[in-house]
Amino acid sequence: EECILAAYDKSSVKCPNHGDVSLAHIAPDTMFLDLGERHLIRPHSLVRGKLLGRGAFGFVFKGTCRVRGSNDTIQVAMKMLQPVQPGPNASQSAIIAYKGAQGKWDRDPLQYASKAYCTARQELNILLTLRHPHIVPLVGVCTRPLALVLDLAPFGALDATLRHYRRTGATLSPYTLQAIILQVAKAIEYLHQQHIIYRDLKSENVLVWSIPPPFHDHLEVPVHIKLADYGISRLTLPSGTKGFGGTEGFMAPEIMRYNGEEEYTEKVDCFSFGMFIYELLTLHQPFESHESVKECILEGGRPPLTHRETAYPTYMLDLMVLCWCQQPRDSLPHLHAGLDGAVLV
């Protein structure tokens, strides 16, 4: 832990017997040197831009990254894992969040430095193994400040798109809805093939490369989305995994009932997938303004639909219901198989 903390701003530690000792020599993993040159991004290769948003881990910034071996740059998203100033034009809430996070690090730097390092390692263990057209790829990791560097989504997170649709009074066309469902389903299916349970499927974690704007012809603008954020994803054994994780309203009953202390399988992602479809249909999060979400789900309750949503193709509604059923659920490939060949008329 002392080496992890030192690696944030030093290249060596002091040994009472040997004086200054290089971290690269005694603890190369604390500096992520085990990743090799391909994935290790030097601080001078990155330029941090405007604040894009924040999550439980910290801030996400837009940035530019110099391509190794050339003068070319690419647009990236920098997911910061240690507190950094949000910038001169940041909102008051972002400034307050930064000060709160920095205060925690100042009070207990060893704990929070170690936690950030473990978070980076957890996500890297998954991202380094993934190659899929609908999963956000890793560009690399920067150590000062500690940040995961990812491809930048031109249109941000899907939840912002859904809010824009809602404000304009528009709904997602069946064609757009079907494309989003299929692309996310294929990403989740791929994760399951890699023995990874995602655990936090929601529109906030789906990033948009291309999508038709409200009241726009879907044929002119294709749908292209990618799944992001593997901070609480888990590698799993054939028997399943344990642990409490997810977002209220999207979390499967079998996780909530036992607070993550009993084993569960990848079918928890199928439940979240059903709630994600609900988000797409209604442009609202499930159980908005509901006070007892956990109790409601455990008792078999589900969020309501209006007449507008029931006008969508029946097979989409059926898929949602199959996914969010209490128990048992089918595996995702079987659930979404009918969508591939579906023809909208």
- Binding site per annotation, positions for ATP: 79
Closest by CA to 192, choosing from 335, 328, 332, 334, is 332
Whether residue 82 contacts residue 105, with contact meaning beta carbons closer than 8 Å, is answered with: yes
Residue with tokens 């709904």: 171
- Residue 78 β-bridge partners: 61, 149
Active site residue 200: yes
Residue with tokens 């990236």: 76
Contacting residues for 293 by C-beta, under 8 A, at least 6 apart: 248, 249, 287
**What is the three-class DSSP state of 149?**
strand
- Exactly one of 20, 29, 34, 200 is catalytic; which is it? 200
Note the residue count of the chain. Answer: 345
Q: Is 312 exposed, middle or buried (0-12, 13-18, 19+ CB in 10 A)?
A: buried
Q: Which residues are annotated as a binding site?
A: 79
Whether residue 31 contacts residue 24, with contact meaning beta carbons closer than 8 Å, is answered with: yes
**Cα–Cα distance measured from residue 134 to residue 191, given in angstroms and rounded to the nearest whole number:** 11
By annotation, the residues acting in catalysis are: 200
